[in-house]
Homo-oligomer: A and B are copies of this chain.
Amino acid sequence: VIRRLTLIGLGLLGGSIAKAVRREGLAREIVAVGRQVERLQPAVGDGVVDRATADVALGVAGADLCVLCTPVTTLAALLPAVWGAAPAECVITDVGSTKAHIVDTAARLAAGRPLAFVGSHPMAGSEQSGYAAARPDLFRGALVVVTPGEAARPDAVKRVSELWEALGARVVAMEPRAHDRAVAAVSHLPHLVADALVAAVLRMDPRFVDVAGAGFRDTTRIAASSPAVWREIFQDNRVALREAVGAFRSVLDELEALVTSEADAAIEAELERIRRARAALPERPR
């Protein structure tokens, strides 16, 4: 059981952790930290958190588990304050969608003061955001990647993994840079490509969307996501994103040359190889 859980940031992810932990009775006390303490009042009012404060040091004092749930670009800036105030036995994690930057920051801080940090990336979300959209089952069935750095303590990795599993998630561990390359390939690249598909049609002729069917809608669904959230993700993972875009560009060029050729058998063989790989993906409920 967690003695005192401190959540820095109480939006969709932080709020959903709080609601799930409260409902499951996983922590004796839940403390929320936010820049504008009045925005945390709904969570105090409905009993999901016990205390709310705008003071990081006050919020983190006495915590044995601390989860940073702010937007990805402010995580690394917030970490030194959390690091300085957390008790020696506190385990710290986060919910950022890129991991190398925050894990490197933690490693630098750990050189000054040894503390346990393990990165987390819960692959759950929604087009909605904010505490009002938070729900206790957000992580049920979701995948959470935990990214221990080289110096991470096994007991801390276990502690963080057990939190996510208690919320119903499936946990896999990855090295932080491998994680960032993987999400660039299967998440950030598809987002950028979906954006580019919409922008390309707007450039060619906006009226073309009048004949768009289910294929265009599926392929571009994620282009309707939050500009502020995705601006930060793209920027934060730009090195891995550029690598993924480069691989995609080469593949697209080759595929375009192939499918506009007369090499019927080679075209069908390549499309079949791709079809099989896609068909092998499980259709998860979320």
Contacts and interface: CB of A to CB of B under 8 A. Distances in A.
A182 interface: yes
A212 B235 contact: no
A267 interface: yes
B255 A192 contact: yes
A18 B211 CA distance: 24
Contact of A218 (B218, B230, B248): B218
Contacts of A78: none
Interface string A196-208: 1111111111111
A185 interface: yes
A225 interface: yes
Copy number in this complex? Answer: 2
A283 interface: yes
A185 B200 CA distance: 8
A186 B216 contact: yes
Given A182-B208, A223-B275, A251 B199 contact: yes
Contact of A215 (B172, B190, B198, B205): B190
A245 B234 contact: no
B242 A202 contact: no
A224 interface: yes
Interface residues of A, number: 91
Given A200-B247, A208-B181, A234-B260, A214 B284 contact: yes
A170 to B, nearest CB: 10
Given A172-B210, A186-B212, A195-B255, 8 more contacts: A182-B210, A186-B209, A194-B278, A204-B243, A223-B274, A224-B279, A227-B272, A245-B252
Interface of A: 123, 143, 145, 172, 174, 179, 181-183, 185-187, 189-228, 230-231, 234-235, 238, 241-245, 247-252, 255-256, 259-262, 264, 267-275, 277-279, 281, 283-284, 286
25 contacts: A181-B205, A181-B208, A187-B212, A189-B197, A192-B256, A192-B259, A195-B274, A199-B274, A203-B251, A214-B284, A215-B221, A218-B219, A223-B278, A224-B275, A225-B275, A227-B271, A230-B271, A231-B267, A234-B260, A235-B260, A235-B261, A235-B262, A235-B264, A241-B260, A242-B260
